[in-house]
Chains A and B, each alone.
Chain A
Amino acid sequence: MERPLSPFMFPNWYRFQITSVLSILHRLTGIALAVGSILLAWWLVAVAAGGEWFAATHAFLASPIGVLLLFGWSVAFFYHLCSGIRHLAWDAGYGFEIRDAYRSGYAVLAATVVLTLLAWLYVLLA
């Protein structure tokens, strides 16, 4: 019985392909960014409120956990942005060949790394 099985729960004999991994990452980063919208709204309210609210928010964002969250969200943002453009190209009917899908997939990963590095270099140098 050599039937193809669903990769649900990813048993150890499952061989990952970049195409499916990127698809899962698109969802995961989307969920992370949706959760991140709480922080976004929080920050806007903190700026409007000022005083202790802003000081506490600023202190949290500057703490190790805050910086880790911001770094994670920046990776998620740049990945979801690049991967989303790839999806829009598919919606428009481009890049369906397997070779093209692999190429655009690696391009998305490379662009994510480059954009994230550039963003944090800017922050560190500013």
Chain B
Amino acid sequence: MANTRSLSNATALRDENVLRRVRHLGSARDGLREWRVQRRTALALIPLGLYFVASMLRLTTSDQATAAAWLASPVPALLTILFVLALLAHAVVGMRSVLVDYVHTRARLVAAELLVRGAAVVLGGASVLAVLKLFLGR
């Protein structure tokens, strides 16, 4: 065991410690999960986004009562909530990948990421609360 480890320190190959070392050297440490979240939300956003934008086009000239009645019905309420949550999850991963590329100071990167994540939580919470209020209050 000790032999394997010392050997791998020289060659950095085929050792049970290598994966751990690679993880600590990786840029994000959970890149695969982010990659998967980005693709899954992207797939979900194709139908959800088209549905929401098409609905918005129909609502552009309408008044508050029409919009409220639309959001109070079950299917639009559900799909709007899903759209907002998928959009924000997708945006958080996307913004993070931009920040990682252009923000080179650790402290600034952490601050910017916290800001993005915080904004996503607040916007998501507010959106869900707004739709639920209309849906439950109808």
Contacts and interface: CB of A to CB of B under 8 A. Distances in A.
A2 interface: no
A74 to B, nearest CB: 7
A30 B46 CA distance: 14
Given A34-B91, A44-B127, A45-B130, A50 B68 contact: yes
A27 B38 CA distance: 13
A126 B127 contact: no
A37 interface: yes
Instruction: Give chain A's interface residue range (CB within 8 Å of chain B).
Output: 20 to 34
Q: Say what secondary structure dominates the interface of chain A.
A: helix
B64 A50 contact: yes
B134 A47 contact: yes
A41 B123 contact: yes
Contacts, number: 90
Contacts of B74: none
Contacts of A25: none
Contacts of B129: 45, 48
A120 to B, nearest CB: 9
Nearest to B135: A48
A20 B12 CA distance: 35
B46 A44 contact: no
A41 B84 contact: yes
Interface string B8-34: 000000000000000000000000000
A108 B46 CA distance: 15
Interface of B: 39, 42-43, 45-46, 49-50, 53, 57-58, 60-61, 64, 67-68, 71, 80, 84, 87-88, 91, 94-95, 98, 116, 119-120, 123-124, 126-127, 129-131, 133-134
7 smallest beta-carbon distances between A and B, as pairs: A48-B130, A34-B91, A41-B123, A44-B130, A54-B64, A41-B127, A45-B130
